[in-house]
Chain A
Amino acid sequence: MSAWRWNDGRDRTGSNMISIDDQYVTSVAPNMDAAKNGRTLVFKRQFKVLRISEDQTVIFGQCQGSGKTPYYCSSDFANPQSPVHRCSCPSRQFPCKHCLGLMFAFVQDRSRFEIAPVPDDLQTKRDKAEARMAKKRVEAVKPKKVNKSALAKKIKAQLEGLDLLQRLTENLVGIGIGNMNAKSAQEIEHQARQLGDAYLPGAQFVLRAYTGLFSQPDGTFNDAMTSTAREAIYSEALDRLSTLHALVKQGRNYLEKRLSDPELAPDTESSIAAWLGHAWQLTELRQLGRVIPDAQLMQLAFNSHDDPARGEWIDTGVWVELGGGNVYTTRNYRPYRAAKFIKAEDSFFQVAQVPELFVYPGDMNPRIRWDTMTARPAETSDFAAVHQSAQRDFAALVKQIKGNLKGPLSEKQPVCLLAFRRLGLVGETFVVEDASGNRLAMTDRGMAEEPASVQLLRLVPPALLRDQVLVSRFRHDLDTGRLEIKPLGIVTADESVRLTL
């Protein structure tokens, strides 16, 4: 996903002249340190050359580094919705501090930028980029050519991986959940690595999540787990084993079908392709028609949590598309090893205007992505649209959710919008009620990705507890057999009050 922006780099008249401000440059920085370092370069007057092209679409310069040769950096706004930053430095941060410094220098005093012809090498890169874009545009409409032999090889490897997964899963059931110990958990962890080699990262994560149930918060295994603590995780563990079993079955069917017909496109009706590690390309999604043009999105909840099973931090945004009323999620994965180089997402309080919204295959809250977006302040009509999208009949929604939950590979904790009549207490239980008197109980149990939120309802003003929209995460508790919700936020006629991060 592209970085959040306060504007899209164009000036107010809509021409391609660069119109960026300090806030914009800070927002595109991968982290606060990079922004600070970029600013320092300007203060230290490290930019020996500052230039701007005649058509005012690209700024470029030379920044003195620690070596003899300066770094050649540029920020190209020829396509204002997706600026290109180039630098000769070896940094893996993007944009690097030199490009950020260049933009800060421009924001600070654009008169210091002399008009000059674009250097040949930069022009060549721009031409190549333009050609690439043109090619991309052409290729976007062309059917994707499949390297059949490579695909067949990959599928075979995946099938072998599924055989391994089946063996592992059956072994786990064979020894019994109750007999898991540090040694067996470590062995499984070791074998799970082979699944990554077999292009089955999804299976690898579920397997790690299973062993993770028996590990300490710091990721280490020990056998000191109390029987009460073990009892609390058995149902969850059995559910994960069922998921692995379903993945083996459905995955094998799907892969065998694809092996026999290499022309067959990845399945878009379910999330099986993603489970088997298919990384959806935007062009692919475009080809498959999974695009919503000119979408307007409002973020209703956000969380950033650590997923030790994946070895990543995950920034998750819950969004409602104001036109269609569907609830989507954005996910920004930041692997531990590369976290420094990947920008952490932040909560977003405006409305994102997205020219092309790409929707991943999935059931209830499909993942979305976009290349470019602009932001505008949220208006009353946007909140009205959220109210319009919310489900008024809890019974119908519950039926739909149950139908979804029965799929072993489905999203187990979907987020929905509930238009409620009243929110209150029955005894000690927080309950939300619709106009027909259908009720849902609230809990924080089993949903630890976000901080606890139920008790926060005691602190909200009374006006928020009647006839509003509740952003809720559903969860079926396997031990009690109850379908309950966790409140993530309340949307009123003119604001969205967040109860979690």
Chain B
Amino acid sequence: MSIGILADVYRETRRLAIAGSVVAPGDFRLQKLIEPLNKLGEKAPVFLRVAQCVEQVIQSSERTASAALLELASLVGSILYTQGTTGVEGELADLPPCPLASSRSQISARLLKPLLAALTSTGSGRLEQIKSAYEMSLFHDLRLVRPALQALDDSYAEIRDFVAQKILPLYGRAILDDLKVAFDIKGNVADGQRLTLIHSIAPEEARELVMKALEDGSKEVKLAAIECLGNSDEDLNYLLQQARARSKDVRAAALLSLARIKSRDAQTHLAKTLDSKDVGLLVRAAEEVAPQDLIAGAVERARSELATLPGVQDTAQQKAAVERLLSLLHIATARLDTAGEQLLMDMLDHASTWSHINSDPGKEDLITLGIKRLSAGSQKGAQYLVSQREMISVENWPAVVFAARRGLEPAQFFQTFVPYLESEPKSKSRTHPRTECIVNHLTGRGDTYCYEWNKRGESPLPPLDPAWLDAAIKLDRMEVVRALASTPNASLHKYLSDKRRTLKTQGKTADDWALARAMLDSRHPEAEQFVLERVRAVKNSSTYWHQTMWTQLGSRLSASAIPELEAMIADPRTNNHFGKELLEAVRTIRNRSQSS
């Protein structure tokens, strides 16, 4: 069959349908096709039918042109549907083998669809969805590979980073080609991440790309490329060159890579940088890599800067000197060793000589940094801070208390700091700031030092001396008692019983709640009764928060409390919020009693 002429007829029909059938009657280009169609019709009648339809369009009036044109379009369309081509010429090559090991796992559409939407669309709550899918190992389904790759371009940086750091490395070489195809040397942060991924998957294959990115890459891509450079002489030369680049970010990335290289030239350059204005750019390198020579060099230079600081009179010069000192101190104490610690102690000893420094940053910044670093250091540093505690400002006291807790024996810590707990309040409404510091440390309320320490997964802090509890009881410090009550104790139980009798509120104050918690923690015989009493009391409260607080404590009750809690749930007067909270509490109690 002569497809060419039919394709021509279709093309003309399409043109007329686009322009409107009003221009179809007498159309010259369509008319020209009638003759060849009739000729072909002698061999195949279908062409005659097409010719007739074309004729009808040509002969039509403005009123009948639409119907005629539609008839022609339908006929030609039907014929062309039967003439679709399929073959593909050329050598059929095998697909390169894919190393994706677990590609066969398949998850249901109900799970897959929202995840695909989270990876490829916008909106809130997507990161949690992606994280939870990652934890459920759903990303082994091959249908998620490309959406995950697409998520590298997500507008939400946290999703981009999570996908780049956690999900895409799962696929290894399987995504290498896709990463290369999508990589744009002039691109943005996402392309920088692509380059980093390519380099981490196949460092040798990535070499060429890295070198090209160094030459022609956009700023973000170039930064990623610099961080991909390694130990070879060529790299070293390049890094040394980039460490003097005009862009600050480029210099920082080059310095970071140089810090990873254990060559003399690299170390020499880093040492030189300590004396330059770029000293601040070395902080990240020191914190991530911590080269010994660099740290030692920073200690030495910091000492000499400290020695000259008292003589600096001009405020602008003070500012520059302090900024430089702060950078040097950050580097010198990146991994706090004896030399660094001694430096900080010497610095704090001489802090009194900086009274003339009025710049910003100024002397307080130096002191705060020194105390902060010492508080996380050795026992010697902690003891130093304790010995200086009266000289140290209230703002820096949390660091002192934290250091003392770490560095002193529990009894010594108690003896040293209990007087502050006993000190008289400044006024009826205002506690002494140092007392507040101790209370905060004992209760864990707002103590960022302890929080950061635990977050980093460091070794647990030494236990507190039991005498703290007695002191808190004696001083009637309910919040401290609540924090320290953990085991049954006669004097504690007596205190809590007395407290319960004197409390007049009905579950609506923090004291009330602290008392209940202390009773539960210390397994007070009246604890369950008290909590149930309070849960009952807040049943009709209009403040949901009170109900939530008390049902949380309710979930710590024993199984014997279940019937009463269930009775409250079933009570039609119980509001929905409270009912749901109680339901959760009952479920927790049941699970706990079943597992025990």
Which residues of A are in contact with B by a Cβ distance under 8 Å?
40, 43-46, 64, 169-171, 173-179, 234-235, 237-239, 241-242, 245-246, 302-304, 344, 346-347, 349, 394, 398, 402-403, 405-408, 422-427, 429, 431, 433, 438-441, 451-452, 455-462, 465, 476-478, 481-484, 495, 497-501
Contacts and interface: CB of A to CB of B under 8 A. Distances in A.
Given A406-B82, A439-B86, A173 B66 contact: yes
Interface in B412-462: none
23 contacts: A174-B20, A176-B19, A177-B18, A234-B18, A241-B70, A242-B70, A245-B70, A347-B110, A425-B93, A426-B88, A433-B92, A441-B86, A452-B146, A455-B146, A456-B143, A457-B95, A459-B145, A481-B84, A482-B86, A483-B86, A497-B104, A501-B109, A501-B113
Contacts of B580: 40
B570 interface: yes
Given A44-B570, A458-B98, A501-B109, A405 B82 contact: yes
Nearest to A431: B88
B446 to A, nearest CB: 37
A482 B84 contact: yes
B367 interface: no
Contact of A403 (B20, B82, B146): B82
B158 interface: no
Interface stretch (B73-81, B375-383, B485-493): B73-81
Q: Which of A241, A303, A349, A433 has the most CB of B within 10 A?
A: A241
Contacts of A458: 95-96, 98, 174, 177
A171 to B, nearest CB: 7
B81 A405 contact: yes
B88 A429 contact: yes
A177 B92 contact: no
List the 10 closest pairs (A to B, CB-CB), nearest first.
A176-B20, A483-B84, A170-B66, A178-B18, A405-B81, A245-B70, A173-B66, A426-B90, A347-B109, A242-B74
Interface in B559-573: 566, 569-570, 572
Interface of B: 3, 7, 13-14, 17-22, 65-67, 69-71, 73-74, 77-98, 100, 103-104, 106, 108-110, 112-113, 116, 142-143, 145-147, 174, 177-178, 566, 569-570, 572, 579-580, 583, 586-587
A453 B346 CA distance: 67
A460 B98 contact: yes
A427 B74 contact: no
Given A423-B95, A426-B88, A455-B146, A174 B21 contact: yes
Contacts of B69: 173
Nearest to A303: B109
Nearest to B98: A459
B116 A424 contact: no
A451 B71 CA distance: 35
Contacts of A476: 81, 84
Contacts of A178: 18-20
B90 A427 contact: yes
B570 A45 contact: yes
A146 B193 CA distance: 69
A465 B19 contact: no
A433 B174 CA distance: 24
Contact of B17 (A176, A303, A402, A429): A176
Nearest to B590: A43
B92 A426 contact: yes
Contacts of A405: 81-82, 84
Given A174-B66, A426-B92, A481-B84, 10 more contacts: A44-B570, A175-B20, A234-B14, A234-B17, A246-B74, A406-B79, A408-B78, A429-B88, A462-B98, A483-B86
A224 to B, nearest CB: 19
A120 B14 CA distance: 70
Contact of B93 (A44, A346, A424, A459): A424
A440 B87 CA distance: 6
A64 B77 CA distance: 63
Contacts of B94: 422, 424-425, 462, 465
Nearest to B84: A483
Contacts of B98: 458-462
